[in-house]
Structure 1
Amino acid sequence: MSAIESTNEVYSMLRMKMVVNTVSRSADHNGDISAEEITLSAVYSDKEGSANKQWSKWTPTGNLRFSVTNPAAFGKLLPGKFVYLDITETDKDSL
């Protein structure tokens, strides 16, 4: 996990490097995809000199499971792909 820095300030954001483990699809009564359940885990490596070893130093473990019901988002995350997960602070009523 790392703080994202700009020239003038440090934003209140955390970045995690994760790998997509699974994508499970659910279908409606017509057989159309109605949801995807996606699981991610923090990258890990003990190989000296690897970029993932640097990430796993600061985010040694972590998991995320969530569902997507927006058809435009189906198929965007695939097992084995690496992604950054950015977490930015917001207030309760923000869109």
Structure 2
Amino acid sequence: MSEEERAELANLTASRQTSVRLSQRARIVLLAADGLQIQQIAEQLGIGRVQVARWRGRYAQMRLAGIERDLPRGAPPKKVDLAQLVELTTQS
């Protein structure tokens, strides 16, 4: 992690403008960068190990963009085959 990234994450944790979720995610990443293990971070922040692992992984993959937003929930939108729909509705 670069010093710029570390400073940006530290600013997120200190700012009152930052949401609680984003602040916690930034804190997870900072603690991981300091060398703490998943279990230690989870105990220190009072959250689950799965949650810690999830945000560490997303940050590793997508950097700051990975922790800024939640992934969409639920099933993906269904795609309708228009030709099949017309065929099914016009036949008796």
The TM-score normalised by the length of structure 1 is: 0.21
**Which of the pair has the greater relative contact order for Cα pairs under 8 Å at 6+ separation?**
1
Which of structures 1 and 2 has the bigger CA Rg?
Answer: 2
More helix by share: 2
More strand by share: 1
